[in-house]
Each structure stands twice: as structure tokens, then as C-alpha cells.
Amino acid sequence: MVTVTQPGGSPGATQRWTPRLIFSLASIVLLLELLAVSYMMISMALPSIAANYQTTQGAWLLTSFLLVGAVTAPLIGKLADMYGKRKLLLACVAISAVGSLVSAVASSYEVLILGRSLSGLLVPCLFLSYSLIRDVFPAKTIALAVSIATSGMGLIAIPAPFLTGWLIDNHGFRSIFWFFVIGLVVLGAMIMVSTEESAIRLRSRIDLLGAVLLGGGIAGVLIAVSFGPTWGWRDGSTLAYGLGGAALLVAWFVSARIVREPLIDLNVLGKRPVFLTTLGAGFCYGASGLFTILLPMMAMTPAILGLGYGFGVDAEGFAIFQAPIGLMVVVGGVLVGTLVGRNVRPRILLVLGMTLMAAGFALTAAVHDDKALLIVFAGVFGTGMGMGYASIPNLLIEAVPPQLQASTASVVGVSQSVFPAVLPVIAFTVMNNSYIAPIPPELTQGAILYTDKGFTIAFLIGAVSAALGAIVAFALPRRIQQVDAPDANVLTPENAMAR
């Protein structure tokens, strides 16, 4: 008989906040904030890195991180359900710290890419963290804890733009990687001493064939999408990666129907709440990724060029636009956690969050030559972003039993990686085809600039994607019924002793 089927740790555990619980949550929150700002910090350091190594392949520094995170997520999720979510979380943190160390001391760009690839194991830490919270935190604290964990407290996210600019300007790009090394080591130790291991296990086998097919398929598609604009969509390499990746994904789908214990249970994934949450998560993270790419490009463009946008701010100056987003993400997350704890359905909150994101995009598309209004619009977008980030794990907790939490959430993690890779490609393909500003290269130091209408179109593309996310969220069932899981496949302390 299974006795650990509800959130909240072991039966009889305290149902209130304790100092250790608060310390545990703070450790997890800081780790996920480090993940959230890592992409932004590396993006700001990219010009210095490219100049140091004299490379034109800067995109690999960003793509390799995302690629490894997406490819490994399903296998890590399955292992976490089988052997313990805390164990896998700490392993991912440790490997990421090693990767950051490799990048910090890299003597060549290839070694730097290797280190950044290892750091991609930070990506699965997102779903591992809220899956672990679901298992070991008291039931009454879970909604708020998960919401705060996924949206943050702003302790790193808000000062990160200022810190990044200061580190790069005063200590060089390697200081960013040393910051990650120190942060990951400290946070890993904090999680180790403060957070319990989940008592829930899934008795299963590792589907190695499925892991290879799914991982290879995701890798092929992501490489094709990421480098298609550079290589050309009809280039042999783009077609080989894209078609090869698609073929591997089809082969994985077929194998998952045949294998007795597949890497991902398609019956669970096919359930309406799980499938729509996965799709909604993709739109949410894809929209947020596009906004955070477009906004700095637009704000940092010199106003003197007369393009109808741009304020000519540097990396530190851009922080006045970034900080409101970080702050309002926190506000949106806390709001979701508080309301879910009062029995407001996360479905409605996801709809509202995606609607606010769509509004932020649309308002920015309409008016982007006023600094004060842009800051307000960024705050609107950040509020919706925080609500979306916090609603998604709460929806999964409603829909999926604890023993399948990590493996199912890993699929959502893949969606959260793929959509942010695809949506910017769509936007920039449109911009590059029709909206490149006719400015002599010597005035832009070789950088490509876009017309005012180009940015308007790009932000409208984001508004449409966020609106689609709101529609998907609205299509979720009003009352979500949790997916059934066979009791025979669950190992808990109680039935383990019975054996």
C-alpha cells in the first residue's frame, strides 16, 4: 500500500515554516536565480569573449548551454524519480561548478565551450528543485514555496545587471565564470545541509535507447534552429541536423510506444492537463526569452542614429530597464503562491500572467521611444512573467503524482528550452529579411541595426505568442484530476519496510 502520495513529506511532519525550511527555500531560490541570470550575464560578456578569442562563433557559447540542458533533462528527470531528486540536483550543481571552472581558466575558445556545455546541467535544476519541494516541504507551504522558487526573490536578479557591468568593466569576462564557480559551490553546500531527500522512488528501468533517440533528436533540431539563420536554411548542414533530429524524434516516439518502461510515459504526457501545461510553458518561456533579447538591443542603440528608438545606454545603464522586470517577476510569483494557497486555481493565474505578457509586448510595440514608459511596460511584462513562471509548476503538482513528478517536469523543461530557441529565430528571420536599417557599416562597427518598424513587428510577434499561451492556459480543465500511477511502481519507506 502506498502511503506517501500527497505533498508534504512524511506523515506527521510539521506543517509550518521553520528556520531550516526558510534556509532551504532561500538556498534553492538563489540557485534558480543564478540560473535565471546566467544567460543574461554571459550575453553581456559575449563581446569581450569574442574579442579575446578572436572568434565569430559567439552563438555557440549560448547555444551549448541550452542544448546540453535540454538534451539531458529527460534522462535526469527519470533518474531523479528513481534515485532521489536531491541527489540529482546536487550532482547537476557540482558538474555545473566544474564547467564554470573550466570556462574561467580556458586557454582556447573550444575549452570555453566545453565548460559552458557542462554548465548547461543548471537547466534541469529548475524542475528538480520544484519537484523536490513538492516532496519534502509541508503541504501548506508548497504553493508559496514553489512560486517563490520559480520566480525568485530578486536577491540576484535585480542587482545582476549592475554587478555584471561592474565585473566585466573592472575584472574582465573571466570574473563572470569565477562568480558562477563560487556561487554554485556555496549554494550546493547550503542545499546539502538544509534540504532533505525525497522519500519517494519510482521502481523502473532506464530506457537507454529512448534517452539516445530523444536527446539526439532534440540536439539536432536545436542546432538547426539556432544556426539556420547563419548557415542558411537550405544549407546542407542545416537540413542534415534538422531532418536528422526530426527523424530521431519520430523514432523515439515509436520506441516509447513499444518499450515497457519508456523514458517518458506518453500516456501521461498525452493527458490534457500535462500536454497543455507543457505547451503553455513553452509559450511563456519563449515569450520571456524574446522580450529579454529585444529590449537591450533596442535600448542600447544610440539615439543619435535617428532610427526612432534607442537611448545609447551601456551595460550598466541598461540595468534601469532590467531591474523592474526582475522586481515584478518576484511580485508576480509571490502573488501566485499566495493565491494558490487560498485555493485560487493556477490555471486562471497562468491565463492572467500570459495576458499581461502579451500586453507588455503590445505596449512596447506601440511606444518604444519613451524611457519612462518603457520601464513601466517592462514592469507589466515582468509581472506576467513571474505569474507564468510560478503557475506552471503549481499546475504540474496538481496534475502529476509525486513519483512521476521529475520525469514529467523534465518534458516541460525541454519545452521551456526549445521555445526560447525557436521564437527569437522567427522574429529575427522576419527582421533580417525586411527591416534592416540602411546605415553604413562604419557607423555601426559592423553591427546590424533594424528599422523602427522592424522592432514593432518583432514585439508584435511576441505579443501573439504570449496570447497563444493565454489561449492554451484557458483550454486547461477547470478542475485538474491527477494522473494515476500504478502503486506497484512506487517505493516509499513504508512499503520498502514491508518488503
User: pLDDT digit of tens for each residue in the chain (499 aa)?
Assistant: 333 334 455 444 556 788 999 999 999 999 998 988 887 788 778 778 888 888 777 777 877 888 888 889 899 999 999 999 999 999 999 999 999 999 999 999 999 999 999 999 999 998 899 889 989 999 889 888 998 888 876 677 678 777 887 888 888 889 999 999 999 999 999 999 999 999 888 887 888 898 999 999 988 998 888 888 878 888 999 999 999 999 999 999 999 999 888 888 888 888 899 999 999 999 999 999 899 888 988 888 888 888 888 888 876 777 788 888 888 998 999 999 999 988 899 999 999 999 999 999 999 999 999 999 999 999 999 999 999 999 999 999 888 888 788 888 888 888 988 888 888 888 988 888 888 888 776 665 656 788 999 999 999 999 999 999 999 999 999 888 777 665 544 444 444 444 4
What is the distance between the alpha carbons of residues 447 and 305, in angstroms, rounded to a whole number? Answer: 13
Place of cell 533530429: 245
**Residue 366 phi, psi (nearest 5):** -75, -40
pLDDT of residue 46: 79
Residue type, position 254, single letter: V
Q: What is the DSSP letter of 481?
A: P
Closest by alpha carbon to 133, among 210, 241, 32, 254?
32
Supply 294's cell numbers: 529585444
What is the distance between the alpha carbons of residues 460 and 439, in angstroms, rounded to a whole number? Answer: 24
What is the distance between the alpha carbons of residues 88 and 77, in angstroms, rounded to a whole number? Answer: 9
pLDDT of residue 154: 65
Task: Centre a 10 Å sphere on the Cβ of residue 189 and count the other Cβ atoms it contains.
Answer: 13
What is the distance between the alpha carbons of residues 453 and 448, in angstroms, rounded to a whole number? Answer: 15
pLDDT of residue 15: 66
Residues with Cβ within 8 Å of 356's Cβ and at least 6 positions away in sequence, in order, are: 332, 380, 381, 383, 384, 387
pLDDT of residue 442: 60
Closest by alpha carbon to 416, among 132, 209, 137, 125?
125
pLDDT of residue 184: 96
How far, in Å, are 134, 291, 324, 356, 379 from residue 372 at the CA level? 40, 17, 11, 18, 11
